[in-house]
Structure 1
């Protein structure tokens, strides 16, 4: 096997920097998903651990340490340790602190100290230590203070930091303070990956990803690996001629289908409350069947609306609700309405809905609409925050809550009636706060 069989040209570029350039202090590999970043970074990681051991030997340090960082223990295990185990056949023996050692012949064993970058608490694992290097996975998701502390811990001569990431907004600190900072040009090297750089991917897979990824920001980040913010309409692939159907068309399309009905709820009072009913057919299509939107209504009104929906679509129909008004969810539940906490990761939820729109797997039934069309053509990106502008978004949020939560539940094998289990999983993943009375 030759190096061309194992590594793409972009990966070989990274390895050449690793093996032949000893002057850098920080390497940032960023870009598209499935572009081959993590695969080559795991090789770089092992080279860097050996480099750390060589430094330790030259300094006569018997017990060198190296930082392995990621958003969570799960992300480190999935993205790095499992992949290294599969690629190299290595096994790791963890101590009570979740650390382990890697040893190369003739060199001192290097203790790999894991730390988690998703919150400021990650400082605890590394504060006070001296590290001979670091590998940071998913760096754009890291808490900035933790990222900078990791770099400061790598204070031994010759210590280096390697990190990889998918792109974020162009104003993200990792891009502005490091990738684009000319003051660090001699110490920092960066490599930009696109999906097309991963030439070992199945061409049909790549073509499928390009054809189904929503236009605009999602495509630019996921396929092209660019640091961009959203511009213009959030759902720019929405086409009335393809994503809007009549009630008669809906009835005809679903005549032989078994439909799964569910709801999304975005609470308001002076601003609109929106309650939507959606249906999934057996072929992966989602239909927005009904929309109930209005303001200046007490919760009793929305209980009545939900009760009517139960009569029309089934008593156990789930209502995936905005957690901003937990007391309203409690009121629904007190009235025997199957109200559940919604999955609220904004960009991921939008990407799911936008993907359905682009693939023409989302259709709105025009007779059931009130504000949907008005909103979908005014729902725009805030190019500074990277999230949608908080205007014209009530129906948009309700639809997102419904579609994204149902998919999240399916992926995590949750029951629509499993309130406590769902709440715990959402809260554990930082997507909602635990309600005061949960425990």
Structure 2
């Protein structure tokens, strides 16, 4: 097949097992190879239900359906948001496994074939259920994934035991296996990730989380005086981590004219330090007073556009609405994704912090992975002194749709400048 690397071509020809997997680094070409093989399979699949499974319908659209359509528009027929697609003329069920009800959906199907996007994100019981539903003669499962912990159930129960699983075919990919990548792009991605994420996403290793989470954090590089804040394009919003006995922290994120991000200002109430616990009404009053204050060291009409709150803080959200605050919405609380995004921005130099964000500056150096969770194959931070870090993560992740094009453009300019 022209345009494919040797590894991609081989994986398409050799993925003849009952279970076929593509794993390895990001942008390594594994997804395109797996999708070509999936489309080939669908044309000749036995009669029965077919399914594509991913974290959400949105990620299935982005990671599976859109790339299939890019291969050729006639491959896919789908209305965005619907849980049915037509691929090569066959009806395919779309199932998001972030929903706990997904296992029940799978339990009701007898499958002739299935494709799983990012298998490490799938709950183990859902994967086991899926294997049990592929009961039609000639049925096959195809999956892709980036590496995760050495103790992750997918590696421990299956990938580390391939000698005992003769019906499994698994192919390892690195960026060198993707012929469409330029050397400059590969080098840019190598700079973007550090520590754990570098080993998993660039080297394609299955490694456990350990040590500092924000290992690229350097106060001398990332912290600037508030008075030196550059011109801002937008004050995108405030991330708020809510506490009753623990601190409540709010951090404002801004998009600078040059396309980089700044944590501009912080409001924080720590009951242990203040010797006073605040009610929701008191928190709402003080927070709204802070929101209405000037946050830039120069005259500006810009104001925080949104207030992103921990989804669990239902009582405070109700109080803020009762007090007339209309900028409130739930924060994106995808912990691993938020941590990875923040770590990448710090490593790129696309995120800076003013000296007003004292809580973030104090917490960042000691933010570490939980060794007990690591033993269970999970990536979780220690839940100690992380309130400002969580607030910043909410602000960064929830506003990504707005800032991502600007940061990507800034990154391109950095890479191409002499």
Measured against the shorter chain, the TM-score band is 0.7 to 0.9
2:198 to 219, 234, 243: 219
2:10 to 10, 13, 16: 13
In 2, the alpha carbon distance for the partners of 1:160 and 1:13 equals 18
CA RMSD of aligned residues (A): 3.1
Q: Which residue of 2 aligns with 1:405?
A: 398
| Runs of at least 5 residues in structure 1 that lack an aligned partner in the other structure | 54-63, 104-110, 413-439
Task: Specify whether residues 40 and 291 from structure 1 end up closer, same or farther in structure 2 by C-alpha distance, changes over 3 A only.
Answer: same
Aligned residues: 382
In 2, the alpha carbon distance for the partners of 1:162 and 1:31 equals 15
Does the 8 Å CA contact 1:285/1:361 hold for their aligned counterparts?
yes
The alignment status of 1:379 with 2:367, answered yes or no, reads: yes
TM-score, length basis structure 1: 0.76
CA-CA distance at 1:344 after TM superposition: 1.2
2:239 to 242, 249, 264: 264
In 2, the alpha carbon distance for the partners of 1:258 and 1:93 equals 39
1:40 to 28, 33, 36: 33
In 1, the alpha carbon distance for the partners of 2:133 and 2:337 equals 33
Task: Specify whether residues 127 and 205 from structure 1 end up closer, same or farther in structure 2 by C-alpha distance, changes over 3 A only.
Answer: same
Q: Which residue of 1 aligns with 2:352?
A: 363
Moved more, 77-86 or 176-185: 77-86
Matches within 5 A, 1:36-75: 36-49=29-42, 52-53=45-46, 64-71=47-54, 72-75=56-59
TM-score, length basis structure 2: 0.80
CA-CA distance at 1:33 after TM superposition: 2.1
Does the 8 Å CA contact 1:26/1:161 hold for their aligned counterparts?
yes
Task: Specify whether residues 159 and 203 from structure 1 end up closer, same or farther in structure 2 by C-alpha distance, changes over 3 A only.
Answer: same
2:320 to 300, 320, 332: 332
In 2, the alpha carbon distance for the partners of 1:248 and 1:87 equals 51
In 1, the alpha carbon distance for the partners of 2:201 and 2:228 equals 34
Does the 8 Å CA contact 1:115/1:122 hold for their aligned counterparts?
no
In 1, the alpha carbon distance for the partners of 2:45 and 2:26 equals 29
In 1, the alpha carbon distance for the partners of 2:213 and 2:74 equals 45
**Secondary structure at the residue paired with 1:312?**
coil
Structure number with the bigger relative contact order (C-alpha 8 A, sep ≥ 6) is 2
Matches within 5 A, 1:85-96: 85-88=69-72, 90-91=74-75
Query: Which has the greater radius of gyration?
Result: 1
Task: Specify whether residues 216 and 131 from structure 1 end up closer, same or farther in structure 2 by C-alpha distance, changes over 3 A only.
Answer: same
